[in-house]
Amino acid sequence: MPGFELFGDLERQEVNDVLDNGVLMRYGFDGMRNGHWKAKALEAELEKTFQSKHVQLVSNGTAAVSVALASAGVGAGDEVIMPCFTFVASFEAIMMLGAIPVLVDIDATLGLDPQAVEAAITPKTKAVMVVQMCGSMANMDALQSICTAHKLLLVEDACQSIGATYNGKPLGSIGDLGCFSFDFVKTITCGEGGAVVTNNKTYYTNADHYSDHGHDHIGNDRGAESHPFFGYNFRISELHAAVGLAQVKRLPEFLDIQKRNYTILREALSQIPEVTFRTVPEGGVESYAFLNFFLPDVEIARKASQELKTHDVDACFHYFDNNWHYIRKWNHLKEIKSLFPISEGVKKGLGYLETKTFEKSDHHISRNISCLIKLSWTEQQVKDRAKAMVKAIQASL
C-alpha cells in the first residue's frame, strides 16, 4: 500500500484507451466507445477478486459506505453500530443518511468488540458496520452470530483490507454488503473510487440506481429510462476505472510484496520481548498492508513514536495522538459541528458522545504503533528499516 508506488505501462495503456475514444462517462455513448467499458470491466474483475455476485463501482469509499447502507434501507433515525477506531469517513457516511452512528469499543484485533456491540443494541439498531482496519479483521464469527440473532445487517468497511481473507473468504464478501475504497493511498488506487460488494440482487440493483440519480439503466437511451426512486450522483468515471482495472490485475503481485516486507519487519520486532502483536482471529489472513504492534504502555508508545522519527523511520502512526482515526481527538464530531442544521433526532441520538468513555479501546490504541507497508521498498531497504525500528524501540524502553 499504496498502489500508486508502482504505476506503470498497464495503467498508461488503460487510460489511453479511454482518451483515444473520448468517452469518460461509464454509461451510454455506446456508438463512440469502440467497445471500451472500463467501469463494467473493473466490476467484472472485482466480482472475481471478492468472490461475490455483484459489484457496483462508485466515486469513492465514503460514498460506498453511504450507498451500501442506503441500498439496504438504512435511513433517518436508524442506529448503526460502528467502532470508535476507524477512519472518520465511516461516521460521515452514516450521518449523510440522517442515521445515527453509535460508536463502541474495539478489542485486541483493533476491530469491533463483539461484547460492546451486543451491549449497544437498541430497538432502533438497523446495522452493525465492522471496519476492517489496517489489513486485518475483527472477530467475524462472533459478529455474524450477533447480527443473525438480532436480525441486523452486517456491513463491512473493508477499505483498508483489500486482499485479506477470513476462513478463505475475501474481507468485504462476508457481511450482507462490503465497501471498498480505491483512493490515492489504498492498496489499489484509481485516484478516487470505491465499490459496493454484495451477493444480494436487490441491494445491488438499489446501489446501481441510487448511485446514478435513480436511473434504472434499462435500455441504452438514457432519456427513456424510468426512475423507481430518486438517487444522487456517486458515479465513477471511465478514466478512474481504467486506472483501477490495471491495478486490480496487479493485486496478487502487490500482496506478495506487502507480505515479504511485513514479514521481515515482524521477524525483527519479534526479538524484542516487550513488543506484542495485534490479534488476528483464527481463520484470518492479513493483507499485510500494515504491521500493528503494542508496547507496554502509552508513555513508551509515545516515546517510540518519536524515536522512530529520530531514526528516520517514516510511515508509522500512533493513532492515539492523531485526529483522523480515533474518537479521542474527534472534537468536531463530538461537538456535532455541522455546516447546516441537522435533525433534533440525530442530535439527541449523538448525545451519548458527551460522556461516553472508551477505556477498553484506549488501552489498545494508546499502546499501538501502526506501520504502513510500502510496495516500492527494496528488500535491502526493508532490512535496513527493520534494524532502525529495533534500535528506535529499544531506545524507548
Ligand X SMILES: *Cc1c(COP(=O)(O)O)cnc(C)c1O
Binding site for ligand X (CB under 6 A): 60-62, 86-87, 89-90, 131, 157, 159-160, 181, 183, 194
Count CA within 13 A, CB hemisphere, residue 98. 10
How near is the Cβ of 136 to ligand X at its closest, in Å? 12
User: Strand 169-170 to strand 177-181: parallel, antiparallel, or no bridges (unpaired)?
Assistant: unpaired
**Closest CB to ligand X belongs to which residue?**
61
Sheet holding 165-166, edge to edge: 169-170, 165-166, 284-285
Q: Measuring CA to CA, which residue among 187, 161, 157 is closest to residue 64?
A: 157
Query: In this complex, which beta carbon is closest to ligand X, that of residue 131 or of residue 300?
Result: 131
Query: In this complex, which beta carbon is closest to ligand X, that of residue 110 or of residue 117?
Result: 110
Query: In this complex, which beta carbon is closest to ligand X, that of residue 23 or of residue 140?
Result: 140
C-alpha cell recorded at residue 267: 521477524
How near is the Cβ of 57 to ligand X at its closest, in Å? 12
Q: CA 288 → CA 56, 124, 204, 254, 280, distances in Å? A: 26, 36, 29, 10, 12
How near is the Cβ of 248 to ligand X at its closest, in Å? 15
Query: In this complex, which beta carbon is closest to ligand X, that of residue 194 or of residue 244?
Result: 194
Please return the burial class of 266, using the count of CB atoms within 10 Å of its CB with bins 0-12, 13-18 and 19+. middle
Residue with cell 450477533: 146
Query: In this complex, which beta carbon is closest to ligand X, that of residue 89 or of residue 375?
Result: 89
Residue ranges in the chain assigned as alpha helix (H): 9-21, 38-49, 61-71, 89-95, 114-120, 140-149, 201-210, 238-249, 251-269, 298-310, 331-334, 344-349, 359-365, 379-396
How near is the Cβ of 74 to ligand X at its closest, in Å? 16
In angstroms, the CA 294 to CA 272 distance is 11
Residue in 53, 186, 303, 329 annotated catalytic: 186
How near is the Cβ of 36 to ligand X at its closest, in Å? 24
Per the annotation, the verdict on 186 as an active-site residue is yes
Q: Give the total residue count for the chain.
A: 397
Q: Which residues are catalytic?
A: 186
